[in-house]
Structure 1
């Protein structure tokens, strides 16, 4: 319930002419941390010159995040400028759609992401991990950038699950085009004033070329698959299942199918790559925790390849991943727009306001986490998890728009982490990896680890 007597929302102090525009562009995550530290759990941040100034209302408490994402989710929509930029670059798939479009898409896609359905992809994930580790051994290199390597692995894995044998046709184009569009979306999403996409500016032209290449490769694979028919495809890749999905309203038309594919490529590889890359780097910096992970793997797997049934048997490895996702959440800031005025944390958020909840900040909130910058997988022992508010930790979002692929992400991450640690011990070379936020969390510097092959 909104009240007219709520105290004014504190505002982060910025420059007289530009507000906090430069701070947000240069280090949005650090700016959000400073806002909470200096002003509390609900903070107003303005950015841009007078006349073009934008304002966001940041909500940092677990209770506030729960209200925005779950309790009052109907009042907080994906109507902000950032989501519009994603729509224009990647289409109106499950990540960005709303209302009837979203409900229909979710209804069609949900059966493909049940635990039983997702578990059938475990062997494909394991094959891609083996391809990666075999390559490391064959190259004879003692050093790899684990975040970079996990980005390539996760892209191949999700492309294989989507496209089956057509994986190589898509991977090169996605590797080249996604970073161009991700940077473009981020720059425009944070800009209070941006030129039309139709203007022949260098950035617009680069994004348009990347956009056309991505759409073309997806359209070609989809058209070839539909022309061949489902019986011509070996196995049950996700594209075949998506093309066959239907209900009383029918299935996806070709453009809708392409947009779902692009969203799954985007969300399905960048998020998992972030979790895996930083989990490996953190273990490389913390030999005691790495030793405990190796001991669990030796005890449970005894050298065999893990499968879906092993996820529940590897609790410590799962704790490692959860702690990596706490410290380096793939979606560090989630935006919404308030439909009606609402009170959060004793402050009135006005109707039409842009609102941000930040897992990057809430996952470091000293009210919920002791010594929050310390890597400690034991934070996720069951009894300690039970003692925290539900939304003190939300790496996959929450509420009715929670990530539909979270079980797939955990399946892929546990299998990959287990198989890599069965083959190698890691020692971090770079003790600090700078990060920034685009569509997802990005490593801005190398995350190198030395690899030492495990002895039988």
Structure 2
């Protein structure tokens, strides 16, 4: 850091006893938005009682985000409290691993997420999207809750790709166990003074049981795949992970395969569910945009089912999805911990500090977005994107740790959205949707729309 660069970042006001700890727990994104509005692009959140107080740093400018996630990524590691809790619940997969573990895992997993490989998942995605649309058509009640419906669709589509023929059993276990583990991660992640996981509290016992059940079904399926991996021709992702080999013949052991599967389940279905629920809801709130999207789908598809080759042929649909993810990124805040003292935006960040960047805030930064709360897919026309700083938009992260599954999520969401718009128009019933922040951000109330068959 340059000599003399010793300014402290502005301090966000909080309670005398716990600082901003309760505000972060109760209204995370609201606190971040207010902190940026009142104090600027780099702030300090005081956490905990005097004498034990620590500071959490928030960074909101595109340049600052680029430094944390991109150019200075080596100095910002996934060593913080929340990643430790995710690691303890869901294993050490690509989301949480670091250093040689991460490099090895990424090298083996990357071939499963090339564009060509991802395009091969299109038929499985359409199978689940068509099943969802068919179920809607058979309903006597035309009102559906998009939050619940898209969570179910995305879970089934992701599980079909991960597990193949073992879809139904795993969906039921994941549906039951993931929320319990997510609750534990959220509780412990928001409280640095949590009791050890070994203590027999009600929350710990419930989470341990959910983890055992989730691990058991994954371990059984992995053992079955290992038993027939040499002769089976299965193309589900679990089988491909088991078969993956490095140049020297190294492979993922069974625990590492399970860790990757659990990360894919978490990131794959929750990010898609959030993007689709809000893309459909925003179209229901904006009839002109909905009509434009439907006209594009009708013209390009002509009534046939959407496939991977249509992803680039539906530019307005892609713009709608990107705008939905701008307003409602599935991961609204992501954190790192500094290795060495550094400087961001002219402010000192000490070594060992927890630093967060926030897509939710940066996606609303008035320096990059005009009328940022307004839904406007035209923001993602090619010429508009070219004029904006690259790190002003990062729903999948950026830099060397950017999400490996972003092409998968975009394909899954594009095919599903096209399929639904072919069959239905939507009219919004609910308007303001309260959100909750856990491992991901999701609606905590129904998102009801009325379906109108086309």
TM-score range, shorter-chain basis? over 0.9
| Alpha-carbon distance in structure 2 between the residues aligned to 1:82 and 1:447 | 29
Indicate the residue corresponding to 1:365 in structure 2.
365
- Secondary structure at 1:276 match in 2: helix
| Alpha-carbon distance in structure 2 between the residues aligned to 1:9 and 1:400 | 27
Indicate the residue corresponding to 2:215 in structure 1.
215
Give the 3 Å change call, closer, same or farther, for CA 350–213 of structure 1 in structure 2.
Answer: same
1:234-259: per-residue Cα shift (whole Å, max 9, x none)?
x4111111000011151011111111
- Secondary structure at 1:273 match in 2: helix
Indicate the residue corresponding to 1:443 in structure 2.
443
Q: What is the deviation of 1:286?
A: 0.6
| Alpha-carbon distance in structure 1 between the residues aligned to 2:279 and 2:136 | 18
TM-score by length of 2: 0.98
> Does the CA contact (< 8 Å) of 1:2 and 1:341 recur in 2?
no
- What are the residue-to-residue correspondences of 1:68-79 with 2, within 5 Å? 68-79=68-79
Q: What is the deviation of 1:361?
A: 0.2
> Does the CA contact (< 8 Å) of 2:430 and 2:447 recur in 1?
yes
| Alpha-carbon distance in structure 1 between the residues aligned to 2:135 and 2:416 | 15
Indicate the residue corresponding to 2:287 in structure 1.
287
Give the 3 Å change call, closer, same or farther, for CA 2–239 of structure 1 in structure 2.
Answer: farther
Indicate the residue corresponding to 1:160 in structure 2.
160
Indicate the residue corresponding to 2:245 in structure 1.
246
Indicate the residue corresponding to 2:329 in structure 1.
329
Indicate the residue corresponding to 2:236 in structure 1.
237
- Secondary structure at 2:97 match in 1: coil
- What are the residue-to-residue correspondences of 1:303-322 with 2, within 5 Å? 303-322=303-322
- Secondary structure at 2:27 match in 1: helix
| Alpha-carbon distance in structure 2 between the residues aligned to 1:406 and 1:439 | 17
> Does the CA contact (< 8 Å) of 1:25 and 1:190 recur in 2?
yes
Indicate the residue corresponding to 1:127 in structure 2.
127
| Alpha-carbon distance in structure 2 between the residues aligned to 1:77 and 1:249 | 29
> Does the CA contact (< 8 Å) of 1:6 and 1:347 recur in 2?
yes
> Does the CA contact (< 8 Å) of 2:5 and 2:343 recur in 1?
no
- Secondary structure at 1:250 match in 2: coil
> Does the CA contact (< 8 Å) of 2:229 and 2:242 recur in 1?
no
| Alpha-carbon distance in structure 2 between the residues aligned to 1:422 and 1:337 | 46
Q: What is the deviation of 1:442?
A: 1.5
Indicate the residue corresponding to 2:188 in structure 1.
188
> Does the CA contact (< 8 Å) of 1:53 and 1:192 recur in 2?
no
> Does the CA contact (< 8 Å) of 1:13 and 1:19 recur in 2?
yes
| Alpha-carbon distance in structure 2 between the residues aligned to 1:349 and 1:358 | 17
| Alpha-carbon distance in structure 2 between the residues aligned to 1:143 and 1:388 | 39
Bigger Cα displacement from structure 2, 36-45 vs 174-183: 174-183
| Alpha-carbon distance in structure 1 between the residues aligned to 2:94 and 2:13 | 37
| Alpha-carbon distance in structure 2 between the residues aligned to 1:326 and 1:102 | 28
Bigger Cα displacement from structure 2, 129-138 vs 88-97: 129-138
Bigger Cα displacement from structure 2, 92-101 vs 428-437: 428-437
1:208-245: per-residue Cα shift (whole Å, max 9, x none)?
11111110010011111211335345x41111110000
1:73-102: per-residue Cα shift (whole Å, max 9, x none)?
000000000000000000000110000000
- Secondary structure at 2:436 match in 1: strand
| Alpha-carbon distance in structure 1 between the residues aligned to 2:67 and 2:185 | 27
| Alpha-carbon distance in structure 2 between the residues aligned to 1:206 and 1:282 | 37
TM-score by length of 1: 0.98
Q: What is the deviation of 1:2?
A: 4.4
| Alpha-carbon distance in structure 2 between the residues aligned to 1:32 and 1:276 | 25
